[in-house]
Amino acid sequence: MDLQLAGRTALVTGASRGIGLAVVTALVGEGMRVVAAARNLTPALKATGAIAMSADLSTADGPARLVERARAELTDIDVLVNNVGGGDSVDGATGGFLSFDDEQWQQMFDLNFLAAVRTTRAALPSLVERRGAVVTISSNGARTPHAGPVPYTTAKAALTAFGKALAEEFGPAGVRVNTVSPGAVRTDMWESPEGYGAALARSMGVEHEQLLAQLPAAMGMVTGRLVRPEEVAALVAYLASPLAGSTTGADHLIDGGAVKTA
C-alpha cells in the first residue's frame, strides 16, 4: 500500500532504539525525509538514512532548539512523532507510590509529558502551515494506571489527554493529532537486564526470562506475545499519512487486547 508519504518531512523524537527506531525506519522506507532525534545517536539510528540529531528533550529549552535545527534541515515539518519517554530508569520504579519523591515525579513528567508539549508547541507553526499531523506515543498504562510506575502512567494519561485537546483546537487549522498507546513491547524497557522488566522480576522473586514468558498472559494479551516495535511503527506511519485524513483526536490501542474496555 502506498501511504503517499514520499517527499514529505518528519521529526521523530526518542529515535535511537525500540519504537522510535522502528518508526524512523518505517518513515524513511516510505520515502520521507526524517530528522531523528535522540540523546545518544546509535549506529543503528545512523544506518537508517535519517538525519540524526542529538538532543536532550527533558530540558526546558531542548525541544525548541531541536525544532529550530530540524527546520533548518527540512525547511518545514509535515509530521511530528512524539516518541521520547521512558519509565525504566528511575530508582525504586517497582516500589509503589510512596517510593517516589518530588524530583522523580518531575523527571518522569519532564520526559514523558512536557517534552511532547514543548516539542509540539515549537513545531506547530510549521505543522499548521503544512496542514500536517502529530502522532504521539502514549501507553495503555494511561488507561490502567496501576500497571506500571505511578508517575509514568500518570504522565502518560496526561499525554493522551493533551493529544485530544490539541486535536480539538487545531483540527480546524488542518492539523490532525492522534495518540498511539502500546502495551508491553519488545524493547529495552522490558528486555534489558537493567530495565524495568528486570527490576520487576527481581521484586517478584522470579527470573527475568520467566517474567517475560508469563507477561502476555498476566497482562491479558490474547495474542499470547509481546507487541513488536515494527507493528507500532506501521500504525504510526498510517496515522501520519493522507490515507488517515479523517482520523484525528483518537487514542489507538495496540496492546494485544490487554485493555478490555471500549
Q: Which residue is catalytic, options 152, 162, 170, 196?
A: 152
Cell numbers standing for residue 195: 530495565
Instruction: Name the nearest CA neighbour of 110 among 76, 87, 142.
Output: 87
3-state helix, strand, coil in the chain (%, to 5): 50, 15, 35
Task: Write out the E strands in the chain.
Answer: 9-12, 33-38, 51-54, 79-82, 133-137, 176-182, 251-254
Amino acid at 246: S
Rounded CA-CA distance 64/85 in Å is 17
Query: Cell numbers of 82, please?
Result: 512524539
How many C-beta atoms lie closer than 10 Å to residue 173's C-beta? 11
**100-104 LR contacts (CB < 8 Å, sep 24+):** 100/149, 100/150, 100/151, 104/151
Closest C-alpha among 18, 73, 82 to residue 44:
18
Cα–Cα distance for residue pair 130/203, rounded to 1 Å: 48
Question: What is the C-alpha to C-alpha distance for residues 37 and 142, in angstroms, rounded to an integer?
Answer: 24
C-beta neighbour count of 139 within 10 angstroms: 29
Asked whether the CA dihedral 185, 225, 241, 18 is positive or negative, the reply is: positive
Residue 196 annotated as catalytic: no
Q: Helix (H, G, I), strand (E, B), or coil: what is residue 30? A: coil
Which residues are annotated as catalytic? 152
